[in-house]
Amino acid sequence: MIAIINETATQDQLDHFVSWIERRGFKTNVSQGASETIVGIIGDTTQIDPLLLESLDIVDQVRRVSEPFKKANRKFHPEDTVIDCGHGVLVGGGSFQVIAGPCSVEGEGLSAIARAVKAAGAGLLRGGAYKPRTSPYSYQGMGERGLDLLMEVAGELDLPVVSEVMDPRDVQTFLDKGVDVMQVGARNSQNFALLREVGKTKVPVLLKRGSGLMIDELLMAAEYVMSEGNPNVMLCERGIRTFETRTRNTFDVNAIPVLHRLSHLPVIGDPSHATGHARYVRPIAYAAVAAGADGLEVEVHDHPSEAWSDGAQALTPRQFADAMRRIALVREAVRADEEG
């Protein structure tokens, strides 16, 4: 349930109303936008008489919300959320960013890749120190040493770091190292213990959609994070499993506008994991931008054939620079169409 507050209400009146609701055993979520203030009421709202609320001077109108996700719901928070990723980098609400770097941190070669992606316009550096792999015998990442290298290189370039956390026990390590954005991968998108643990922090979370998750299930995963007090969630569409075998997954471009309609959270497109083939990454990236994505995550490696993981889907620095130029053109065309 949401209560839309009258424009004439004072802050004291709003605080009193919120306290009155919470004393009755409900949780609240207050969204104060430029045009209106909304109080989300979370709990068994069948116990609340909407007519009683609407009889209060402070309340303009009351609406019931049927979707199970509340904090992630645009009805509770009509304006786009903007995520501060550190280093002056914002995502959402018109701020578009590209996250780029190698699939996994492999050693000192990270520096050259990082410099190349920054020169091309990337706003955040990605790199996996812990790697979830289908086979237990595949490369599993450098662990803490990989995080140290990632933070060292990013610090030199003044770039925020995005890296995947796989285990609730590792969250404190990521906090201690100063990782700017914790990525929850597709395989862990319903690891509820991990979602709750990252939710106890204030660090931005890049939440990837599992290959078999419906859109509502992705939003409920975000709800797990937000219910613990962390509002800084970015949703990532990275392809779903279908009957098609010519690509690793099928990039669900539909999900981008649908998520924007349902939720106020930023939406990131990951064309690398969606396609699994470098030749398809750029056209899918352009499609994601045209559909309204707030950012992209793209894998880049200076020698893809020698990459320790997922080299087949990595762009070279030259290909990435070309992609960034074309992405700018697509964004310009979309803005011109919206303004026209």
Domain assignment of residue 78, yes or no = no
Digit-coded pLDDT (tens) for 121-171: 999 999 999 876 666 766 667 889 999 999 999 999 999 999 999 999 999
Domain assignment of residue 77, yes or no = no
Q: What is the pLDDT of residue 141?
A: 73
Distance in angstroms (rounded) separating the CA atoms of residues 140 and 127: 13
Domain shared by 32 and 154, yes or no: no
Distance in angstroms (rounded) separating the CA atoms of residues 191 and 196: 9
Residue ranges making up the domain that contains 208: 83-339
Rounded mean pLDDT of the chain? 93
Domain shared by 206 and 330, yes or no: yes
At residue 181, does pLDDT exceed 90?
yes
Domain shared by 203 and 291, yes or no: yes
Q: What is the pLDDT of residue 340?
A: 65
Digit-coded pLDDT (tens) for 294-318: 999 999 999 999 988 889 999 999 9
Distance in angstroms (rounded) separating the CA atoms of residues 93 and 110: 31
Distance in angstroms (rounded) separating the CA atoms of residues 160 and 338: 30
Q: Can you give 64-91 as a three-state secondary structure string?
A: CCCCCCCCCECCCCCCCCCEECCCCCEE
Of 13, 34, 63, the residue that ends a domain is: 63
Report the share of the chain in percent with pLDDT over 90. Answer: 78
Pick from 43-47, 125-129, 185-189: least confident: 43-47
Q: How many residues does the chain have?
A: 340
Identify the band that residue 232 occupies on the pLDDT scale cut at 50, 70 and 90. Answer: very high
Distance in angstroms (rounded) separating the CA atoms of residues 141 and 103: 10
Domain shared by 231 and 273, yes or no: yes
Domain shared by 248 and 324, yes or no: yes
Domain shared by 119 and 164, yes or no: yes
Domain shared by 32 and 162, yes or no: no
Q: For the chain, what is the domain count?
A: 2
At residue 238, does pLDDT exceed 80?
yes
Domain assignment of residue 150, yes or no = yes
CATH of the domain at 305: 3.20.20.70
Distance in angstroms (rounded) separating the CA atoms of residues 14 and 9: 7
- Residue 29 CA: distances (Å) to CA of 3, 61, 155, 217: 10, 16, 35, 21
DSSP class of residue 169?
G
Q: What is the pTM of this model?
A: 0.89
b/e map 248-274, b = 16+ CB within 10 Å? bbbbbbebbebbbebbbbbbbbbbbbb
Domain shared by 28 and 87, yes or no: no
Domain assignment of residue 118, yes or no = yes
**More confident site: 33 or 84:** 84
CATH of the domain at 39: 3.30.70.1140
Nearest CA among 222, 200, 211, 214 for reference residue 270: 211
Number of Cβ atoms within 10 Å of the Cβ of 79? 16
Domain assignment of residue 202, yes or no = yes
Q: Is the CB of residue 177 less than 8 Å from the CB of residue 154? A: no
Q: What is the pLDDT of residue 139?
A: 66
Domain assignment of residue 124, yes or no = yes
Domain assignment of residue 29, yes or no = yes
Domain shared by 95 and 200, yes or no: yes
Domain shared by 52 and 145, yes or no: no
Of 35, 63, 91, the residue that ends a domain is: 63
Domain shared by 48 and 117, yes or no: no
Domain assignment of residue 187, yes or no = yes
At residue 33, does pLDDT exceed 90?
no
Domain shared by 293 and 153, yes or no: yes
